[in-house]
Structure 1
Amino acid sequence: MIERVKALEQVKTVAPIYQLAANENPGAIIAQIQFNGDNFDEWAQALKSALKVKKKFGFMDGSVVKPEENAPEYEDWVSANSMVSLWILNTVEPKIRRTLANKENPKELWTEIKDRFSEGNGPRIQEIKAELARLRQGNDSVIDYFGKLHMLWEDLSNYDPAPVCRCGKCTCNLSAEFEKKREDDRIHHFLLGLDDNVYGAVRASIISTDPLPNMNQVYAKVKSVERIDTVTRGREHQGSQTAFVALTKNFGAAVKDKSKLICKTCKKIGHTEETCFQVIGYPSWWTEKPQQNGRGGGRSGRGGRGGRGGMIRANAAVVSAVGETSAEAEKHGYAGLNNDQWTTLIKLLDENKITTPRLNGKSFLSEWVLDTGASNHMTGYIEFLVDQKYALPCSVGLPNGTQSVCREKGTVVFDEEFELRNVLFVPDLKCNLISVSQLIADLDIVLQIANKGCVLQDRTTRNLSGVGELRDGLYFFRRLTRVNAFRLNKDEAEDVWHQRLGHPSNGVFDLLPVVSSRVKDFSSCSTCLKAKQCRDMFHSSDNKSDGVFDMIHVDLWGPYRIASLCNSYYFLTIVDDFSRAVWVYLLQNKTQVGKTLREFMAMVQRQFNKQIKVIRSDNGTEFTCLSSEFCGLGIVHQTSCVGTPQQNGRVERKHRHILNIARAILFQSSLPTKFWGESILTAAHLINRTPSSILNGKTPFELIHGTT
């Protein structure tokens, strides 16, 4: 009895070595890192840690000895030993796992992997060090930048571990000094990639310290500088929002009357010789010069002092004789307006003088004032805003000296072609302001101010966008419908305008606003025929082979930017011409095409007792290199002409069909892109079992196998 109790106690002392928990099964993946052949050290470290946690590392290093077959713990040892082998294989990618499937002992499995792959870390070490040398903070935050560095440091430590004393007799603490040196190198890496403008001072302070502080202290100092910089920039942004409203009393008293100014050079009113464009040169945005009457050409003619205004600009709207600059507009101080624009402007201003009431009551609420002192568009009426969104709280100075806080912004829409964006809602503001600076920056317009009001023109097309009506010392914005800076000359020949407009078609030419009736037919224009010629259509072919596998169509798709789960970047598509059945094979590279086709032909011969007669493909080298082999087997190899994929259209269209279904599967299941290979295989499976109108309602599977 005593001997039996001792035997049971002995079994209990060794049982924990072989014990398996309820959740430990053969399909468990105990390490998150998959071994791919190039990351041995990283994978080995993760696998060792996982097995040590489960108290099974002894099976891999051989310290757990195999008991005798008649021993009571033998079955437990076999179970635990096999489980560890499966755990190791589960962390290996399929392409490597296939070469290790015959190894059932964990120690033998580990030894073979180690002997085969443990010497390939040199290129990876070089790659990590190159990434460390190139990495800079850029627009990343400190925590994101440090996280990227830390991942590279950990990878480098796994591939290039620090040397340790193995004799046990070292008393100089060399390992600790080596770790301190490695940490100092990491600190220099970290500081080197920081932004000089923000962290230059703290970097100089840290590197001048001897000895260097540890990494946690360095990170804390840099993080505090980033936090201070964020707060400072936020205050500057909030403090920059101010509003000014022009006072209406005695507004014109301090402004010099430009109607009394006469230029001695051009004899025009509104400016002096010091500011005359004919003397100082036209600005770069000015695309028109005043037209000269008579012969001789004035200062702005050829060879004159036209300044920068004489350069040719690609998108400039040059006004022809019909749309020449209005002399009447220039007399009033508006340069660059044609007669149509000037007439529209005068008509609008005269109408408003008759109908516009004084600035009192509700009539002022819908008015928008052009303000050169406002830093942003602002309104006190939230019902004007669409697409409202939250804005950083900012203080806005009001005309009465008080402050109001803005917390919302939105868009004000005047019509389908004109809108104001990022308009601030200021609750206590009793008017609507258009910031001239923001308007010019957002819409790229030109603003001209004169005695009758101000004019807003598009900088490139010179079209009128709006006017500012001068009333009680303020410029009230009036939106104009588009008045073009040029118009079509009816008297010119139609073919001249056809050439100028880039040879539009008859239908497009008829849509021009001034064209009432077109006489000439441009469909016979020789230039149009040369420029718009296209390739003849490839009519769909109704030819069909007489039997299954008499003809197959093959094509290769890829490479894709992301590897599939089986590390494939291509897939080979094979389509039977008679049944429209499709076979898809995932390939790692193009060199596998030949082997795959040979296996397919063998499958057809063994499973269906058929011989392939014709193979049709494009001129890819992966197919043309097999022509002699096909010839030896009596198979006719047909290739499409160079640059003519339509001749191999049956499999090309099948590619599109497969990809459409595969994308739909990925979107529907919300799977990541790396599952594209499985989606392609699933799509081919579904296509073979889906009825087709071409097959009279049958499926490819039915025609191939003769059964449903």
Structure 2
Amino acid sequence: FCTSLDLLISQQSLTFDFVRSRILDEELKKKSSVNNVNSVNNVKQEANAFSVFKFQCYNCGKYGHKRSECRVKKKNTRQTPGTHQSYKPGKPKANYVAELAEVNAVADVSTHEFNDLKSTTEESSISFLLCTEEKTANVLKNDIGNCVEFVIDSGASDHFVNDMKYFNGGYITLKNPIPVVTANDGIKLIATKVGTVVTECFTIQNVLFVKGMKSNLLSVKRIERKGLKVTFEDGQVVVSKGERIVFQMTSFGKMYMAKFKLKNVDCAAHKACTTNEQNVLWHRRLGHPCDGKLGHLQKEGYIDSVQQKQRDILCETCIKGKQSRLPFKENLVKTHRVLELIHTDLCGPITPTTHDGKKYILTFIDDFTHFTMVYLLEGKNEVPKFVMEYVKMVHAKFNTKISRIRCDNGMEFNNNILQNY
């Protein structure tokens, strides 16, 4: 961490305000460097995405597109099998077309994370329309109270909102934000969160938050997938389930808009779902202190973003750091006399050999007294001989018999000679 090196070589006295300012400056540097890299990549993508084809179409004779992209009905010309340029799955295209006076952009979005969240198997591309700024101003100028206004879009594959205040049912932050590239002057939009909008008549789940959108969108595809029926007739769109009408929208120009009153949601589940990102950020900046330390710093006026009711932070790093392994169970079996338990093992062959050709070492250790005997052997076949010699020697020395001999059950111990002995 480069800031720690600057602090060590700095001649200033270390105070909390000084350390906090250095940490914030370092974070701003990192964010600015990431944004510069992303802007360079976006410029390269725009140059490739919006380049104009300058040659003539072989189908209609017009300039600006290829024969494979031509919307005019193909002529009855002979075509060699396999030469037709088919649609490539890796390059999604817009599936909604409207008049330029009404539509301002068409966008495609794809992400593996949001597909897993929706638990669906359809394509991940998202196509939707955005209203112009003038029409949006006319629609929203009469907005009063705690309401949310939606534009229903038959070309959108997901629901969208442009303000997080509509997530009264909770939300989560996407680990990998979804980039949204529009065809309107190369505008870049990013979907960073997904949540739930709870109105007084229904609940909308899996709604994407896209900052910078001019209007909120309701997807006809998502509505029908929930078992509802969407009908467009007489300048209105009616959403119903069986004989019951859920809601209806009136047309505004050539678009359908409706305003719904948000439901006041104030429950423990909603508070638990709402993440306090500022608390977690300061917890990491200050070296993972306890909750009491954050509260003390807030009282002293050093930080002002920590909420008193949500100071309890579930930090994965802190949990792993406090984990400890249980102690091993003590061996309660202990010996109480000499030769009650003998440990024996054979080691070898050892190189170089001794001057008289010994290559193996045979050890005997008494568990009670730790009395140890070592024998040098030329081969494994001598093990039974020295085992019997050791048994006779300790029996004569301690005037008692061996109760148990513990070994690794090698073939040098597990043989007919010792078993018969």
Assess same fold via TM > 0.5: no
Q: Which has the higher strand share?
A: 2
Q: Which has the higher contact order (CA 8 A, sep 6+)?
A: 2
Q: Which has the higher helix share?
A: 1
Instruction: With the length of structure 2 as denominator, give the TM-score of the two structures.
Output: 0.29
